[in-house]
Amino acid sequence: MKTKFLAFIFIVAAYITTSSCKEDDVNAPIKTHEESDDEIDQYIQTNFTDKYGVAVRYTYVDRYVDPDKRVTPPKRELVEPMLDFLTDFWIEPFEAVDNGKVFFAKHVPAEMVFIGSTIYNSDGTVTLGTADAGARITLTEVNDIDVENINWIFRQLGTIYHEFAHIVHQRYNLPPNFQQISPQGYTSAGSWYNLTEDEALARGFVSPYATSSFNEDFAETVAHLLFYPEFYERYIDDEVCTTTDCLARNEGRALIRKKYNSILAHYKQYTGVDLLKVREIVQAKLPL
């Protein structure tokens, strides 16, 4: 099992290194409750709109994507499986813990947007998802759904947990002193993707993208804590070593430990949710 996890870290890390998230401020979309005879719409109405007040957009509408981007809408037959996946790995783990139902109902965005393909950017990165002022979360790669493919699962979970974490800091700010933990490690605008995973770790970050801003650092750390099986081995526990590079990684882990502890306390104080219990549920569901 250990070997399997180690193989995945390089695959996932390589993908995340070329990914990006967009977080915009927008007015909250109006929650619509349009009646429809369509089976998918009825499924969404019953399981998401009526239950959580969430509208799910799966047909292409250009206002959901930047005009200079080309994307593919999700296939109709994959919409319900994608919603079931989110229910299994996102909704149920949060609702299963103390205060989780209250937290989820209060913080779930009013709108979910599905994109079938990835969103490619001019700088060579791809956008895996977006969070718009806590009102909308957009997920990509729906047409690649494969609940037995751990790489697809990690990308989706890394995205949904990341974007959901943005809603927490948007409402409650970052943990106290979070910005002072590794202030020298953040990258200049647009250069985060030039870092390797080990270089980011040595700076005190769980991924190169986490170095792009304080907010992304927070969201990335939350996401990795929840979805990544070897989170502790990779980011928290020190290596036994003497080389300069290894010692630098351990120095980075000391910084991540501070972020980890501050995030756990922040969630507990402001949301009443124990992220470690959520992680335990998520990890038990992974097909490893």
**8-state DSSP, 23:** E
CATH of range 20-285; options 3.20.130.10, 3.40.50.720, 3.40.390.70, 3.40.50.20 = 3.40.390.70
Domain boundaries, the chain: 20-285
- Give the pLDDT confidence of 19-41 residue by residue, as tens digits: 556 655 444 444 454 577 889 99
Q: Which of 68, 67, 48 is nearest to 56 (CA)?
A: 48
Amino acid 196 reads T
Note the pTM of the prediction, 2 decimals: 0.86
**8-state DSSP, 134:** T
Asked if pLDDT for residue 239 goes beyond 80, the answer is: yes
Q: Is 133 helix (H, G, I), strand (E, B) or coil?
A: coil
Asked if pLDDT for residue 177 goes beyond 80, the answer is: yes
Helix and strand tally (H, E) in the chain? 12, 6
Query: In the numeric block, which tokens belong to residue 6?
Result: 């180690």
Q: Can you give the pLDDT at residue 20?
A: 58
Report the mean per-residue pLDDT for the chain. 87
Q: Can you give the pLDDT at residue 205?
A: 98
The more confident residue out of 134 and 147 is 147
Q: Are 125 and 209 in contact (CB under 8 A)?
A: no
* Region at 59 (left for phi over 0; alpha for psi -120 to 50; beta for the rest): beta
Q: Can you give the pLDDT at residue 21?
A: 67
How many Cα atoms are found within 13 Å in the side-chain-facing hemisphere of 212? Answer: 22
Rounded to the nearest 10°, the torsion over CA 185, 191, 194, 199 is 0
Task: Say how many Å lie between the first and final Cα of the chain, rounded.
Answer: 8
Task: Tell me how far apart the alpha carbons of residues 285 and 288 are, in angstroms, rounded to a whole number.
Answer: 9
